[in-house]
Amino acid sequence: MQFAHLADTHMGYRQYGLVERENDFFEVFEQAINEIINERPDFVVHSGDLFEYSRPPTRALLTAQKGILKLKEENIPIYAIAGNHDVVMRKNALPPQILYKNFGLKLISPNKPFYIENDVFIGGAPYASKYHSKHLIQRLQDIEKSSMDYKKRILVLHQGIDRYIPYEYEIKIGDVPQSFNYCAFGHIHERVIDDFGEGKLAYPGSTEIWRSNELEGYKKNGKGFYLVDISGDMPEIEKINLELPREFIKENISYIKLREELSRISQYIHTLDRKPILMVTVEGGNFSRSEVYETLNRSLSNSCLALRSNYKPTTVNSEDHLFDQSNEVLDIKRVIEHSLKDFNNEKVNELATSLLKELSDGNYKTAENRVQDFYEDLYDH
C-alpha cells in the first residue's frame, strides 16, 4: 500500500511581484501531478496550503482543478486539509478546496474528520492557530479514538511543532498522538522525516522555494514530495525530487575582485535556459553601498529575473553618517534612512499603490504578504 504525500504548493503566489514566479509555482504543481501518476500510488495526501490565498486567482483554481481531474482519471483519490493560507479566518468559512468535492478531492474537515481508503484510516484536521490549540488537541484525541480499530492509520495536519520551529509553533510534540503509523504534516517548508511513536512523522516541505531562506535546505534535500509505503511494520519513505523551473543563485563575492566575480557570474547565467533569481553579498574592503549597488545592476539586472544584494564592507564610510556624533553610537533612524536610499521611488510607490488596492478590496492576506515580500527584500539589501 503506497501513497504520495505532498504539501505547501502555494499556487497563486506571485513571488517578488513577478508573474514569472507565479507561473513557476503552477509548473511545479503540474510536474508533481505527473510524477505522482508515473509512480501509481494508491492515493494522495495533501497536507495543506494548496493555495497561497484563501481567495485564489482564477488560474490557480483552474490549475488545481486540472491536476485533481488528472488524478481522478487515473483512479488515484486525493485527500486534503486546509492550511493557514487556505483558511479564511472567519467562523464557518469554507476553504477553496471544497470546490473540488465533485472532482475527486476528499476534504478532511471538522465535519468529516476521517475517511477509510482500502482499510486505511486517514484522519486529521485543518490548520488551527496557537490560540485554538486546546480545541485542536481535543480533536486529535477524538480522531485517535476513531482510528483504533484500524491496523493502518494516517494522521494529516498542517501545524508547526515546537521540536522543529521553537518560536513559531502551534502545538507541542507531546500533543501529537503517537499511535499513528504515519503523521503527514505540512506547514514547515523544509523536509523532515522522524521516527515518532509507532511510526514516522514527516514534512515533505514546499514544492517550490517560497522564501529565500529555503535555499540551503533545497540544495541539501531537494524539493518535491514523498512516496510512502505502509505495507510493512514501519513506513518506508522515498523522496521524489522535482526539477524547479529556474535557479536560485546565492553568491558571496569580494569587493576587491568585484569586476572579475561579476564577469564569472554573468558567464554562468548565460548558460541557463531561464533567467535566475540572484542573491549577491559583496564583502570586504571599504566601499560605498550605493556605488556597488549601481555596478551590480548595470552588470547583472538585465540577465536576472530578480537581483537581490547585501553588503558587508570592512569599515563603514563616515560619509554615510550612520553614527550619532555626540555619543558615537549608531543612530537607528539614520541606519534605516541609509538602507532605504538604495531603493528607488518606483519600488516604494509600487508597494504603496498595491497595498492601497488590496486593502481597499479587503484582501488583507494579500496585503500582508506584499509587505512581507518587501521587507524580506529590504533586509537582504
Residues annotated as catalytic are 85
Name 307's bridge partners: 278
How many CB atoms neighbour CB 179 within 10 A?
13
Say how many CA atoms lie within 13 Å of 209 toward its Cβ: 21
Taken in order 119, 232, 194, 240, the sign of the CA dihedral is: negative
Distance, C-alpha 360 to centroid of its chain = 26
Distances (CA, A) of 149 to 24, 119, 153, 184: 43, 10, 9, 20
Amino acid at 154: I
Decide if 199 contacts 235 (C-beta within 8 A). yes
What is the residue-wise DSSP string for 295-332?
HHHHHHGGG-SEEEEEEE-SS--GGG--EETTTTEE-H
Counting Cα atoms < 13 Å in the Cβ hemisphere of 227 gives 16
Place of cell 540572484: 278
Chain-centroid distance of CA 326 in Å reads: 45
Measured in degrees and rounded to the nearest 5, phi and psi for residue 70 equal -65, -40
